[in-house]
Amino acid sequence: MTSPHLSEPDLQEAADAPARLLAPQVAHLHGCALCQGRVATYSQLFAAAAQLPAPVFAFDLTASVLAQLPGPRPALRWALGGVAALVLGVVVAFAVLFGGVLAQAFQSLLTLLGAGLAVIAGVLVAGLSLELLARHRRQMRLLTFS
């Protein structure tokens, strides 16, 4: 037996996952009682470590955590939908109430089209703003707890 004894990492490897040892190390181990003893020591150490009792809390962690959780919140998309519906409602109500006046004001078709586009753009901008706000809040929340 001329090869050197197994290094400390190799001894641990032999005890933990012998299949990962290289052939020369395996050959040495077969013929070296000292290394075999050292590997056996680690094997017993690892077996004992695996059987150590797991620590436990003296209180019910699950119940304690559940008691601290906030109540269910309405989903964000429902809130966004509600706001969009409200905006739409306001626009429709405005059109119904002041339709005549508006019609007089916007005498040409082009003007009406322009007004329609302006209303749609307003609704889109409002929706996008709300979405951006929601995304910002979500990111801030993630940053705070990452």
Q: Which residues are at the interface with another protein (CB under 8 A)? A: 8-9, 12, 37-38, 40-42, 44-46, 48-52, 54-57, 59-66, 68-73, 75, 138, 141-142, 144-146
The smaller minimum CB distance to another protein, of residues 65 and 101, is found at 65
**Least distance in angstroms from the C-beta of 91 to another protein:** 31
Check if the beta carbon of residue 35 is closer than 8 Å to that of residue 5.
yes
Q: DSSP characters for 64-100?
A: HHHHHSPPP---HHHHHHHHHHHHHHHHHHHHHHTHH
Position 6: which residue type?
L
The smaller minimum CB distance to another protein, of residues 52 and 110, is found at 52
Taking the C-alpha atoms of residue 65 and residue 62, their distance in angstroms, rounded to an integer, is 5
The smaller minimum CB distance to another protein, of residues 80 and 123, is found at 80
**Least distance in angstroms from the C-beta of 138 to another protein:** 7
**Least distance in angstroms from the C-beta of 55 to another protein:** 4
Phi, psi of 136 (to 5 degrees): -60, -45
